[in-house]
Amino acid sequence: MKQGVQDSAGPGIPRAGAAGMARVPAQQRAADALDGVRERDTPTHGVRGEHTHAERPLPGARPPVQRSSVRGQILDALRTALVAGELKPGEVYSAPVLGDRFGVSATPVREAMQQLALEGAVEVVPNRGFRVIERGARELAELAEVRALIEVPVMLRLARSVAAERWAELRPLAEATVRAAASGCPAAYAESDRAFHVALLGLSGNVQLVRITEDLHRRSQWPLVGGPVRHRRADLVADAAEHVAMLEALIAGEPDVVRRLVGEHFAGAS
């Protein structure tokens, strides 16, 4: 792949169409071009015309983005890049450069970034783009505390009311976290971890509870200043093992063991 082209794409960021950089099929690009026309006629609250210089390269090519759900796919890709540390805390990224990287217009990228801004992962920098929020260990500890205050009582209540066979249905999700942890990929583990916790809390039948805790979980996965130290493979493997142990205790109907394991799990989340 040709790297480090010094032009409007920014230093070190591959240009669209370079070898290895996937593109959207022609008919999808035509539809995407229509977004570009709409984009020129639609106010974007101060984020138009972002400068594209002095941005760090984002390593690795992405698979082609399909037009059918381009905005959702871009959002997922950006969340993955955040968790993996490809988007650095404190750095500013412009929608046109990221759009060039994914082979789409700036419009779906900008929309995805606006969603990330609502989630607290980035902030708008007028006329430049979006800056990844710089977060420290204290914020991570606060998120872990809030999650524990919400999730621990719910899980203990569910431990007394949910049948063993319902818990057993979650075994594939717990095992998926083990496989993701073994891979050492923080983005893959974050997704499997989120899916496991959402499924656990989903047994409560409380949609609002699941929605709030899922948002807290995503926030707890955003990168810290200084790099994703807490995403070491050994830490991921230990966290996944706690999932399996908790689930087995729930299946066995051992509330005291569940209480201890759940407490340890959230104590280690910070």
Burial of 181 (0-12, 13-18, 19+ CB in 10 A): buried
Average pLDDT, the chain: 78
Candidates 3.30.930.10, 3.90.1150.10, 3.40.50.300, 1.20.120.530; CATH matching 137-267: 1.20.120.530
Residues of the chain with CATH 1.10.10.10: 26-132
Residue 57 has pLDDT above 90, yes or no: no
Residues of the chain with CATH 1.20.120.530: 137-267
CATH (residue range 26-132) = 1.10.10.10
Lowest mean pLDDT among 12-21, 139-148, 179-188: 12-21
Long-range contacts of 34-38 (CB under 8 A, 24+ apart): 35/105, 35/107, 35/108, 36/105, 36/106, 36/107, 38/107
Instruction: Please state, in angstroms and rounded to a whole number, the distance separating the CA atoms of residues 140 and 222.
Output: 9
Strand-pairing partners, residue 125, are 129
As a whole-number percent, the residues of the chain with pLDDT over 90 amount to 43
Q: Write out the H or E segment, with its range, that includes residue 122.
A: strand 122-125
**Model pTM?**
0.67
Q: How many CB atoms lie within 10 A of CB 208?
A: 7
SS3 184: coil
What mean pLDDT do residues 53-74 have? 63
Instruction: Please state, in angstroms and rounded to a whole number, the distance separating the CA atoms of residues 122 and 2.
Output: 29
pLDDT at 35: 47
Q: What is the pLDDT of residues 98-117, one digit of tens each?
A: 999 888 999 999 999 999 99
Q: What is the pLDDT of residues 22-41, one digit of tens each?
A: 344 444 444 444 444 444 44
